Amino acid sequence: MRLPNMAAVLLRPGGSEIATYHFNSDNGAPVCDQVMSAVLRCNQGTETAYGADHLTAGLSTAYGEFFERESFVFPVATGTDGNGLALGAITPPYGTIVCHESSHIVTTEGGAPEFYSGGGRMTLLQGEHNKISSASLEEALRKHGIGNVHHMAASAISVTQATEAGVLYETGELSELSEIAHRAGLKVHLDGARISNALVSSGVTPAEMTWKAGVDILTFGTTKNGTMNAEAVITFDPGIARVLGFLHKRAGHLFSKMRYMSAQLLSFLDNDLWRTNALQANKNAARIEAALKRCACVEFAHPVQINELFVFLPRRLSESLRQRGFHLRPWDLGEGRDGFRLVMSYCDKAEEIQRFEDTCNEYASSSDVAD
């Protein structure tokens, strides 16, 4: 059976097709060749099921070297699974998770943390560029009241690296938040959906961004950076790992053919693939940013620090891009203006980037840039 071509098609005035591109999300990128080859290589012979295979057994060693510390690794299929399991392991049913009001776990994960914790809730904080400040955390914990049985127990703090606005927490900021949290008896969770992009942008080591900064458990994202349905919950605490072992199975994530996920997670580290792919995605974003900055009336809602751009575009420019084959994803950035989110991936074609730059250059050089 022939599968339909789902790509949208634009036509030139003469009727010929214009190739269409989009920068909607790095989730839409294909599995990279190195990872797919690893999956095919592991597809030989029989293996012990349910994570008792040799590839899964090698995860702790590989990621222990990556993080420079003993690491307990639990493969999952999605980031929602990962965040839910991680937070469920450190949040009791009577507990609350302190996080930014725009965190992915709040806005886009269907109550997974509440589900996996058996009834936990969220305490929502505000902050510029979707970041929690140490001052806001201290104030929230003071108002909440630690140990007050009339309130849900403050049990965890969750931060996203990079944030949902594509902005980084510096390691010093993470350390300050962790110190405050630990002093109050909270565990620290890091949602690392784009942690590879954050690492290459910041120049710090995986250890410095995680356990050295006080992180107890993290969701390690890889699917946005070249794998297929393979993420990992990683903790450095053997006590949390024991709890995760049971939750992982109970939630249905101890897959019988775990080797196919583990092969991807191992391949992701081989020859620093994570770094290569993240660098390319970030470089592509930097080129798009530079092209847009040459255009009048373009404003960025947040600093561009990884592979995401959040930007207000004049309608004449957005229409020019649409006519040149670019699908732009509208994004509510407030102010009642035309906001968009653009996300680059490791495999954006040079032709796509060049066409975008050419369109921006044409707009910038036009004598009439009125919207």
Q: Which CATH number characterizes residue 73's domain?
A: 3.40.640.10
Q: Are residues 198 and 323 in the same domain?
A: no
C-alpha to C-alpha distance for 152 and 53, rounded to whole angstroms: 41
Between residues 42 and 7, the one the model is more confident about: 42
Whether 4 maps to a domain, the answer reads no
Residues in the chain: 371
| Whether pLDDT at 204 is above 80 | yes
Q: What mean pLDDT, rounded, does the chain reach?
A: 93
Q: Same structural domain for residues 327 and 354? A: yes
> pLDDT band for position 371 (50/70/90)?
very low
DSSP reduced 3-state for 192:
strand
Using the predicted structure, report yes or no on whether residue 242 has a pLDDT greater than 80.
yes
Does one domain contain both 246 and 205? yes
Top pLDDT among 6 and 188 is at: 188
Has residue 21 got a pLDDT over 90? no
Tell me whether residue 20 is in a domain: yes
Instruction: State the alpha helices, DSSP H only, in the chain.
Output: 33-42, 54-57, 59-67, 79-90, 104-107, 112-117, 134-144, 171-183, 195-202, 206-209, 238-250, 259-269, 273-293, 315-323, 350-365
Q: Which residue, 161, 274, 262, is CA-closest to 208?
A: 161
Residue 367 DSSP code = S
In a domain, 3, yes or no: no
Domain boundary among 208, 239, 273: 273
> Is the pLDDT score of 20 beyond 90?
no
- The reply to whether 1 falls in a domain is no
> Domain of 295?
10-31+278-365
Among the residue ranges 11-20, 74-83, 103-112, 339-348, the one predicted with the least confidence is: 11-20
Model confidence over 251-262: pLDDT tens digits? Answer: 999 999 999 999
Q: Is the distance from CB of 159 to CB of 174 less than 8 angstroms? A: yes
310 found inside a domain: yes
139 inside domain: yes
Angle, CA of 84, 47 and 221, to the nearest 5°: 30
Q: Are residues 333 and 301 in the same domain?
A: yes
304 and 249 part of one domain: no
Condensed to tens digits (0 to 9), the pLDDT of residues 61-110 reads 999 999 999 999 999 999 999 999 999 999 999 999 999 999 999 999 99
Instruction: Tell me: do 27 and 106 sit in the same domain.
Output: no
pLDDT above 50 (res 209): yes
- pLDDT the model gives residue 17: 55
Question: For a pLDDT cut of 90, what percent of the chain falls above it?
Answer: 88
- Pick from 226, 245, 273: which residue ends a domain? 273
Residues 117 and 230 in one domain: yes
Whether residue 132 sits in one domain with residue 209: yes
* Sign of the four-CA dihedral 88, 86, 84, 245: negative
298 has a pLDDT exceeding 80: yes
- Could you give the CA distance from residue 363 to residue 296 in angstroms, rounded to a whole number? 8
Alpha-carbon distance 38 to 58, whole Å? 14
Examine the pLDDT at 55 and tell me if it is beyond 60: yes
**118-127, 203-212, 269-278, 333-342: segment of lowest average pLDDT:** 333-342
Q: Is residue 298 part of a domain?
A: yes
370 within a domain of the structure (yes/no): no
pLDDT recorded at residue 18:
61
Percent of the residues in the chain that have a pLDDT greater than 70, as a whole number: 94
DSSP 273-315: HHHHHHHHHHHHHHHHHHHHHTSTT-EESS---SSEEEEE--H
What is the count of structural domains for the chain?
A: 2
Write down which residue in 257, 273, 289 finishes a domain: 273
Confirm whether pTM is higher than 0.85.
yes
**CATH number of the domain within which 338 lies:** 3.90.1150.10
Same domain, 336 and 221: no
Of 144, 140, 82, the C-alpha closest to 113 is 82
Q: What is the mean pLDDT of residues 9-33?
A: 74
Q: Does one domain contain both 23 and 50?
A: no
Task: Answer yes or no: do 262 and 297 share one domain.
Answer: no
* φ, ψ (nearest 5 deg) of residue 284: -60, -40
Provide the terminal-to-terminal Cα distance of the chain, rounded to the nearest Å. 47
Residue 132 has pLDDT above 80, yes or no: yes
Residue 171: CB atoms within 10 A of its CB come to 17
Q: Are residues 356 and 265 in the same domain?
A: no
Mean pLDDT computed over 231-247: 97
